[in-house]
Amino acid sequence: MKVKMEVDIGGLKLQNPVLTASGTFGSGQEYLPFIDLNRLGGVVVKGLTLLPKAGNPPPRLIETPSGLLNAIGLQNPGVDYFIENILPELTSYQTKFIVNISGNTPEEYGVLAQKLSVPGVAALEVNISCPNVKAGGLVFGTDPDLVAEVISVVKGHTNLPVIAKLSPNVTDIQEIARAAEEAGADAISLINTLLGMAIDVETRKPVLGNIVGGLSGPAIKPIALRMVWQVAQAVKIPIIGMGGIVSAQDALEFILAGANAIAIGTGNFINPRVTMEVIAGLEEYCQKTKTEDISHLVGLANPLKMR
């Protein structure tokens, strides 16, 4: 039986529901020794800012039980460098390339969206886990009004599908998701990393140079799964689920909870071929269960989701 693996994420048509999470896969070319990029549903490239950023002081990565703490600090060469030097190299692949953007103000997000509305970019993922310098450093993604403002500005500066990437560091994830949807987001991705830290008992100091960082990996999967399940009940737009996915079974849990697609992040560090294994595992599961279209599995564990 041939399984229909194609999915539509707010107008972004993917050959299968498996993407890579921003910040864990570079621009995709870094993984060429291990996988065939053309088999991926999509690649979400490392986050871009308007100007180049050096990132946070080291140490910037620390392994934790079943997880990884990172405080990279959005190190990147800037949007202009990406457009001029990296994007042209990506056009030979059939995989869809989605660009993650971060700004200090809503206006910066608008400029980024406009600059990246060029051939080769399939969609924009808006990282709203950034501090708003105009609001005294309040993180955009923790305030529904700021979320709506940023998404509205991005939508006003591009015709590409806009994906709002939500932070889990909030009181009510459904309220944030609804704000993104009402502002015009075409899809939602979640979750971004959870805030965490580690302390060296010998030096009696925090391990990370930035003191706190983002926790990812299998340790956060139950939280991510719960939030995807909740958001699937709150919005009608498609969802990309992520957070600790390292196997096809993990991916299936997110799809059954209401995710239309999934993204793999830290799992790529553990096993650089994990995306290929997940694609094969999803197809095998569908064949075994006589599921002709993988989209038919979306939300089956979430009866309150209106379809």
Tell me which residues are annotated as active site: 130
- Would you call 164 helix, strand, or coil by DSSP? strand
Distance separating alpha carbons of residues 275 and 78, to the nearest angstrom: 27
Strand partners, 242: 263
List the structure tokens of 246: 């390292």
- 72 contacts 56 by C-beta, under 8 angstroms: yes
Cα(93)–Cα(88) distance, integer angstroms = 11
One-letter identity of residue 164: A
Distance, in Å, from the CA atom of 228 to the CA atom of 225, rounded to the nearest integer, reads 5
Q: How far apart (Å, rounded) are the C-alpha atoms in residues 182 and 131?
A: 22
Residue ranges with strand state E in the chain:
7-9, 12-14, 18-20, 42-48, 61-64, 67-70, 96-101, 123-127, 131-132, 138-139, 162-165, 187-190, 194-197, 199-200, 205-206, 212-216, 239-242, 261-264
CB-based contact 5:58 (threshold 8 Å): no
Question: Which residue(s) pair with 214 in the sheet?
Answer: 70, 195
